[in-house]
A = this chain, B = another copy of it.
Amino acid sequence: MKKSRWQRWAVLGGLLAVMGAVMVVWRSPLWAAEGMWTFDNPPLQQWKARYDFVPTQAWLNHVRLSSLRFNNGGSGSFVSPHGLVLTNHHIALSELQKLSTAQHNYVQEGFYAPTEAQELKCPGLEVDQLVSMENVTAKVQGAVKPGMSDVQALQARRAEIAAIERQSLKATGLRSDVVTLYDGGEYWLYRYKKYTDIRLVFDPGQQIAFFGGSWDNFTYPRYDLDFAVFRLYEHGKPVDSSADYFHWSRRGAQPGQLVFVSGNPGRTDREDTVAQLKLLRDQIFPLDLASLKSHRAALEHYSAAGPEQAREASEMIFFIDNSIKALTGMEKGLKDPELMALKERQEAAFKARVAANPAWETAYGNAWAQIAQAEKEYAAHLKQLRFRSLEFSPLAEQALTIALYVQQIRKPDADRLPGFHDAQLPSLRFRLLSPAPVYPKMEEALLADTLSESLAELGPNDPFVHAALEGQSPEEAAKHAIQGTQLASVAFRKSLLSGGEAAVAASKDPLIVFVRRLLPFVLQEQKWYDDHVDSIVTAAGQKLGQARFAVYGKSVYPDATFTLRLAYGTVKGYPMNGTIAPPFTTFYGLYDRAYSFGLKHPFNLPQRFLQAKRRLKLSTPYDFVSTCDIIGGNSGSPVINRRGNLVGLIFDGDIESLPGDFVYDEKQNRAVAVDTTAIIEALRHVYHADALANELEGQRANTSP
């Protein structure tokens, strides 16, 4: 499944954490430090051979249970026995935004609750802990009967997956997701303990968390204190996490040290075929980049109206900038003739292995050609798919999802569109009923831009465009749809969901009226995509996944699926732009970069950092890099040493890691993390947050807040 349109732009958590990808990866097991390994299959041989490291099953379980997933696209971990959770400021960002008011901008000011009573509850946030993993491959694959067409097989698998999830949810009460791994070579039922009472404890303020802004984003050497601390509650009390949490390392990361990253990489495309990569390179990326730039310009225009507008738009601009930089880096990777040549060699070698075995050739040999053919159709249909949509207009998209929801849930679970199965409904409802603030004027600007693009790309006679505009200009149409809508109200959305199809059909809300007109086209495009691309590519991809199983076994890791994985590597600099990047940076470097730009935005320092200069030990390690193989969705992941102690907090990759979506290169691919030493130094000497520092360092009992 390549691009479900409402997943493609889920640019959450500051990285392209697009969920649900089911591409597969294979790699020679000799390739060092590579891989996002599932917990049932860590690369024990590599660890033993390269680092003389042999973890116990208890070690693995402890790491898994100490690790967490944020439903907004990031990762985190327990870091105290009393439910303290460490993640990134940029993962907390959407929560901080929601908590902020005209009086208090926690995004900028930062926040600290010295006592539990002062902690702030975050509505709309869900944190998951992976408590069990069960292989259900036989069941899912068994649902496909001989003689079924590809489309029938896809539906049979979907139905079986939905049934497994439903039964598990019913039996255990746990969030239950069937995860497709190895292109369908394996299916696993992951059960999560779900936390929804999440309270903000500490936030250092965006200026220091995101020091260097969009410029420094995705780069290294780096000087970001990108962390935030939450506390999980259950039944009104802090969660007892004493059984599984990461102990804090006071020494932080050491150059040359073996480290692990336990987190939820969102998506990789490492086993895209060459045909798929070329489509991305030549058509999809250029189209996406043009769209993003258009939306960015619309938001800039909106921001220019005043400081309040600028504040409203800033989060989305940040996400867009991130996406532009990320896509540009990925596109650059694909444009690198060496990378493409490597991919071609790998594919040729894999094809040859398959072709050499008559049984394999019969079963899998035509998969490449099938994908290439589907991609060709996809390419021809691309503009229609892309521009018959409301993506990047959050409120209109939400209205559309409500209209879909009430229609889909009336169908048997198996017949529904992806994203609307029973097991997915709680999270979906949670999202649709989020009390996050809505800015109607900004929504109007975004919708106008989206419609303008559709008009420009598809022309006025396209039926979707026709239905959307009804003869008006995009600006007029957006104005009519947004002005007077009640969809900003959670209660109204709730009433629609509970009112069902009848309520939606009867609604005179202008935005609902608007999306009702568009619904048939959206469904039609989804069906076209399912029939002509998704089902074929998924089936052929499954063949390739099985072929890879046949050829390479489980010596390889599956492509990322925003589920828990273990990466490993060493703390290590790398050759960069003619010189060498250091394994870590220091507080000295923060001040250097700030002063070397004359303290101008985005290199300005918060006042408290200017004042704290003399109190800090400036040579304290600040951010560091390791060879761990990560990608978007890993934001907020713990970095631990072989003893399982926390030495850092992942928050980004270097610019050279962006092609990591397609290929891992240990020479320059680096994961960027905040060092635990920097967090403590700043908490104690900049923020005077000794109570929190003490709790993190395991001394909670010794201090009163």
Contact = CB atoms under 8 A, between A and B. Distances in A.
Interface of A: 212, 215-216, 218-219, 221, 255, 325, 329, 573, 576-580, 582-586, 588-589, 591-593, 595-598, 603, 618-619, 621, 654-655
B579 A219 contact: yes
B579 A212 contact: yes
Nearest to A655: B578
Given A219-B577, A655-B577, A596 B591 contact: no
A591 B588 contact: yes
A618 B593 CA distance: 12
B619 A578 contact: no
- Give the interface SS of chain A, mostly helix, strand, loop or mixed: mixed
B255 A578 contact: no
A588 B579 contact: no
5 contacts: A582-B603, A585-B592, A589-B589, A589-B592, A595-B619
Contacts of A597: 573, 582-583
A699 to B, nearest CB: 27
A130 B270 CA distance: 62
Given A578-B329, A588-B589, A588-B591, A596 B618 contact: no
A585 to B, nearest CB: 5
Contact of A596 (B216, B221, B578): B221
Given A578-B655, A585-B592, 19 more contacts: A215-B579, A216-B579, A219-B577, A219-B579, A576-B577, A579-B655, A582-B593, A582-B597, A582-B603, A583-B596, A583-B597, A586-B591, A586-B592, A586-B595, A588-B591, A588-B592, A588-B618, A589-B592, A589-B596
A573 B596 CA distance: 10
A159 to B, nearest CB: 45
B618 A591 contact: yes
Contacts of A255: 598
Nearest to A596: B582
A589 B654 CA distance: 20
B595 A588 contact: yes
Contact of A580 (B215, B578, B579, B580): B215
Contacts of A579: 212, 215-216, 219, 655
Nearest to A585: B596
Given A255-B598, A584-B596, A596-B584, A325 B589 contact: no
Contacts of A588: 588-589, 591-592, 595, 618
A44 B196 CA distance: 69
Contacts of A216: 579
A576 B578 CA distance: 11
A581 to B, nearest CB: 9
Contacts of A584: 596
- Kindly name the residue among A577, A579, A593, A654 whose own CB sees the greatest number of chain B CB atoms within 10 A: A579
A469 to B, nearest CB: 39
A582 B583 CA distance: 21
Contacts of A577: 219, 576-577, 655
Nearest to A337: B337
